[in-house]
Amino acid sequence: MLKSRSFRAGIHPPGSKITAGKPIEKAKIPPFITVLLHQHAGAPCKPLVKRGDEVKAGQKIGDSDSFSSAPVHSSISGIVKEISTQLSPTGREVQGILIESDGRDEWVRMEKINPEKASKREIIARIREAGIVGLGGGYPTHVKLSPKKGKEIDTLILNGAECESYVTADHRVMLEHSEKVVKGMKIIMKVVEAERGFIGIEDNKRDAITRMREVVEREGDKRIEVIPLKTKYPQGEQGILVKAILNREKPSGGHLYDTGAIVQNVSTAKATYDAVYEGIPLVERVVTVTGDVKEPKNLLARIGTSFRELIGECGGYKGEVGKILKGGLMGGIAQWRDDVPVIKNTNCILVLNRGKSRTPEERACIRCGTCVEVCPIGLIPTILGKLAVEGRFEECMEYHIQDCMGCGSCTYVCPSKIPIAQLISYGKEELKKRAG
In the chain, what is the greatest distance between 2 CA atoms, to the nearest angstrom?
A: 63
Site for another protein in 105-124 (CB under 8 A): none
Q: Which is nearer to another protein, 80 or 321 (CB)?
A: 321
CA distances to 131, 174, 295, 313, 338 from 141, in Å: 8, 19, 33, 30, 28
127 vs 276: CA distance, rounded Å:
7
403 binds another protein (CB under 8 A): yes
Quick one: which segment of 115-123, 189-197, 280-288, 398-406 binds another protein (CB under 8 A)?
398-406
Torsion of CA 332, 274, 98, 322, to 10 degrees: -20
Residue 5 and residue 157: Cα distance in Å, rounded? 14
CB of 127 to another protein, least distance (A): 28
User: Interface mask (CB under 8 A) for another protein, residues 233-252, using x and -?
Assistant: ------x---x-----xxxx
CB of 13 to another protein, least distance (A): 6
Nearest to 329 by CA among 405, 200, 234: 234
Q: Minimum distance from CB of 331 to another protein (Å)?
A: 5
- Residue range at the interface with another protein (CB under 8 A); choices 24-32, 34-42, 294-302, 371-379: 371-379
CB 188 within 8 A of CB 145: yes
CB count in 10 Å sphere of residue 314: 22
* Min separation Cβ 114 and another protein, Å: 40
Q: Which of 94, 110, 300, 413 binds another protein (CB under 8 A)?
A: 413
Chosen residue from 369, 390, 394, 432 binding another protein by CB under 8 A = 369
The residue (of 118 and 333) whose beta carbon lies closer to another protein is 333
**Interface segment toward another protein; rule CB under 8 A; list 36-44, 59-67, 260-268, 372-380:** 372-380
Q: Is 291 left (phi over 0), alpha (psi -120 to 50) or beta?
A: left
Q: Least Å distance between CB 242 and another protein? A: 10
The mark string for 312-351 relative to another protein (x by CB under 8 A, - otherwise) is --------xxxxxx-x-xxxxxxxxxx-------------
Burial class (CB in 10 A: 0-12, 13-18, 19+), 2: exposed
> Please, what is the minimum distance in Å from the beta carbon of residue 356 to another protein?
8
Long-range contacts of 425-432 (CB under 8 A, 24+ apart): 426/388, 426/389, 427/384, 427/385, 427/387, 427/388, 427/393, 427/396, 427/401, 428/401, 428/402, 428/404, 430/388, 430/391, 430/393, 431/393, 431/396, 431/397, 431/401, 431/402
Nearer to another protein by C-beta: 120 or 151? Answer: 151
Residue ranges binding another protein (CB under 8 A): 11, 13-14, 165, 239, 243, 249-254, 320-325, 327, 329-338, 352, 354, 356-357, 359-360, 363-370, 372-373, 375-380, 382-383, 399-400, 403, 408, 411-417, 419, 421-422, 425
